[in-house]
């Protein structure tokens, strides 16, 4: 039989260069990628095309809640896809209804909308805020400096970092930024046009900075006083990563007034699907019907397949007590990192974060840090960790993030600390 389209040559092991070439020729170069081509994973380990094993403490940037190739996710994908993968949101189906119910039970009285990514979840919150303020002509959303809210046009307008906006001006109107954890700045920024405030419970891309309890409680009171929606972007810090379902649950633990705290809207993604692309937002009861029929939608959001996987991720987290593990493994890592910071104060400046969302701030201008000096220290440090068999995520100029699977074991955490210590000790020489 005549072949109309010749089959591409198979990619065999040890062909990093071939894969990179495919990207160079065919993939939009919007990412600065590391020199690694990954082929498969197993739990908290990933393997490159040369068969080299890496301990993955980056978790796909807080996505792979159960690690890689978890059999329960595979089973959920297989079982649900034998029934039905997709039906339009013109119809009802059980997995979406059950997932919405599970999230409402975990957060509080309200309703959920399902999309496909964190940026799309935030877009939903922006539209909610606009609808909320529409009759009074209010449309503005105040966000914080160093925040990150996604790469869509509204997402970059909402993000409090200039680097994501450059080249894409004019920005979509209706967003202003004030310093994070500064209640007075937020209060002063409110204008007659303001409809909502949006913050991350723990800033992620901005360098792993948790909100203080006073800030969260203060924002709630401010929003009540000025009739604003309090919106929280939990895309990175949510889904048990902090050691509780939402980072505000963890931050406000034991704080007077903390147990009744509830935002008006929450965006979710990343760990929600454990690697299956999905996003969602929850909206609190009084506002849950604002986005009425015909006002918002998405073709793929909340498909039976996505929701079946997300339900399975939740079930495994519950069965295997991964909320508690995120807390104890996080504390173990944190103690080890604090020890490193004390031992090598010339290299490590600061350790921040909660649960399995940790940031390691390195000193600026480490003298013997190898690598291209045009790259940030964070990128050069990440390259060093890769060479030592550890995957971590850079943030800002000098920060490395640890966002591992919620089922990280004690042994894996120890291994991670050992590798980090070896690299840091060499830098301190
Ligand atoms: C806090 C936060 N919000 C939104 C996003 C955007 O999510 P996505 O890349 O899925 O669109 C991210 C991604 O890193 C994030 O960390």
* pLDDT tens digits for range 323-352: 999 999 999 999 999 999 999 999 999 999
End residue of a domain, out of 293, 319, 345: 319
* pLDDT level of residue 10 (50, 70, 90 thresholds): low
End residue of a domain, out of 319, 344, 374: 319
pLDDT value of position 284: 98
Query: Is position 50 within any domain?
Result: yes
Average pLDDT over residues 196-202: 99
Task: Identify whether residues 87 and 156 lie together within a single domain.
Answer: yes
Ligand 1 pocket, mutate which of 63, 122, 150, 161 (most atoms under 8 A from CB): 150
The more confidently predicted of residues 12 and 283 is 283
pLDDT at 7 over 80: no
Task: Identify whether residues 152 and 199 lie together within a single domain.
Answer: yes
Write out pLDDT tens, residues 219-266: 999 999 999 999 999 999 999 999 999 999 999 999 999 999 999 999
170 CA → ligand 1 middle, Å: 22
**Strand 393-395 and strand 110-115: pairing?**
unpaired
Domain count, the chain: 2
CATH assignment at residue 345 = 3.90.1150.10
Task: Identify whether residues 265 and 251 lie together within a single domain.
Answer: yes
366 CA → ligand 1 middle, Å: 30
| β-bridge mates for residue 38, sequence order | 48
Average pLDDT, whole number, for the chain? 96
Query: Is position 6 within any domain?
Result: no
Q: Mean pLDDT lowest for which of 4-8, 47-51, 62-66, 136-140? A: 4-8
Write out pLDDT tens, residues 259-274: 999 999 999 999 999 9
pLDDT value of position 5: 72
Q: Whose CA is nearest to atom 8 of ligand 1?
A: 118
This prediction has a pTM of 0.96
Query: Is position 9 within any domain?
Result: no
Task: Identify whether residues 95 and 29 lie together within a single domain.
Answer: no
Task: Identify whether residues 311 and 360 lie together within a single domain.
Answer: no
Query: Is position 11 within any domain?
Result: no
Write out pLDDT tens, residues 101-155: 999 999 999 999 999 999 999 999 999 999 999 999 999 999 999 999 999 999 9
Task: Identify whether residues 378 and 342 lie together within a single domain.
Answer: yes
Q: Which residues line ligand 1 (CB under 6 A)?
A: 61, 117-119, 122, 148-150, 200, 204-205, 233, 235-236, 269
Average pLDDT over residues 152-163: 98
CATH assignment at residue 159 = 3.40.640.10
Q: Whose CA is nearest to atom 13 of ligand 1?
A: 150
Average pLDDT over residues 311-319: 98
284 CA → ligand 1 middle, Å: 21
* Atom number in ligand 1 closest to CA 269: 10
Task: Identify whether residues 269 and 241 lie together within a single domain.
Answer: yes
Task: Identify whether residues 242 and 384 lie together within a single domain.
Answer: no
Query: Is position 40 within any domain?
Result: yes
pLDDT at 1 over 60: no
Task: Identify whether residues 255 and 356 lie together within a single domain.
Answer: no
Question: For the chain, how big is the Rg over CA atoms in Å?
Answer: 22
pLDDT value of position 324: 98
Task: Identify whether residues 238 and 219 lie together within a single domain.
Answer: yes
* pLDDT level of residue 15 (50, 70, 90 thresholds): confident
Task: Identify whether residues 184 and 49 lie together within a single domain.
Answer: no
Query: Is position 157 within any domain?
Result: yes
**Which residue range(s) make up the domain with 417?**
16-57+322-428
* Atom number in ligand 1 closest to CA 117: 10
Ligand 1 pocket, mutate which of 235, 357, 395 (most atoms under 8 A from CB): 235
Query: Is position 168 within any domain?
Result: yes
Task: Identify whether residues 190 and 289 lie together within a single domain.
Answer: yes
End residue of a domain, out of 319, 343, 358: 319
Range 366-381 burial, b when 16+ CB lie within 10 A, else e: beebeeeeeebbbebb
Query: Is position 63 within any domain?
Result: no
pLDDT value of position 3: 62
pLDDT at 8 over 90: no
């Amino acid at each position: 039989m005549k072949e109309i389209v010749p089959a591409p040559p198979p990619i065999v092991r040890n062909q990093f260069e071939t894969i990179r070439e495919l990207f160079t020729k065919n993939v939009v170069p919007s990412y600065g990628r590391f020199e690694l081509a990954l082929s498969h994973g197993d739990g908290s380990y990933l393997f490159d095309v040369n068969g080299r094993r890496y301990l993955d403490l980056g978790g796909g940037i807080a996505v792979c809640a159960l690690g890689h190739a978890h059999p329960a996710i595979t089973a959920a994908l297989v079982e649900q896809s034998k029934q039905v993968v997709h039906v339009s949101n013109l119809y009802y189906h059980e997995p979406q209804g059950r997932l919405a119910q599970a999230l409402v039970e975990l957060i509080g009285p309200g309703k959920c909308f399902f999309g496909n990514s964190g940026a799309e979840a935030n877009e939903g919150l922006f539209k909610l805020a606009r609808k909320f303020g529409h009759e009074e002509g209010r449309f503005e959303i105040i966000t914080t400096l160093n925040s990150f809210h996604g790469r869509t046009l509204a997402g970059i307008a909402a993000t409090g970092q200039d680097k994501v906006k450059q080249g894409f001006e004019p920005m979509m109107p209706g967003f202003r930024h004030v310093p994070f954890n500064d209640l007075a700045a937020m209060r002063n920024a409110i204008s007659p046009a303001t409809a909502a405030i949006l913050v991350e419970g723990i800033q992620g891309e901005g360098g792993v900075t948790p909100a203080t309890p006073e800030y969260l409680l203060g924002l709630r009171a401010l929003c009540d006083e000025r009739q604003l929606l309090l919106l929280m972007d939990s895309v990175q810090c949510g889904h048990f990563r902090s050691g509780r379902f939402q980072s505000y649950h963890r931050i406000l633990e034991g704080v007077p007034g903390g147990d009744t705290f509830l935002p008006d809207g929450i965006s979710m993604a990343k760990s929600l699907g454990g690697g299956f692309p999905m996003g969602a937002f929850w909206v609190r009861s009084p506002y849950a019907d604002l986005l009425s029929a015909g006002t918002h939608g998405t073709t793929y959001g909340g498909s039976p397949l996505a929701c079946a996987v997300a339900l399975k991720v939740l079930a495994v987290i519950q069965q295997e007590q991964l909320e508690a593990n995120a807390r104890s493994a996080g504390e173990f890592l944190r103690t080890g990192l604090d020890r490193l910071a004390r031992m090598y104060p010339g290299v490590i400046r600061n350790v921040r974060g909660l649960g399995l969302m940790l940031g390691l701030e390195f000193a600026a201008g480490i003298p013997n840090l190898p690598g291209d000096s045009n790259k940030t220290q964070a990128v050069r440090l990440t390259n060093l960790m890769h060479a030592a068999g550890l995957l971590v995520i850079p943030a800002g100029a000098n920060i490395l993030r640890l966002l591992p699977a919620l089922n990280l074991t004690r042994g894996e955490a120890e291994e991670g600390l050992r590798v980090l210590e070896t690299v840091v000790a060499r830098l301190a020489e």
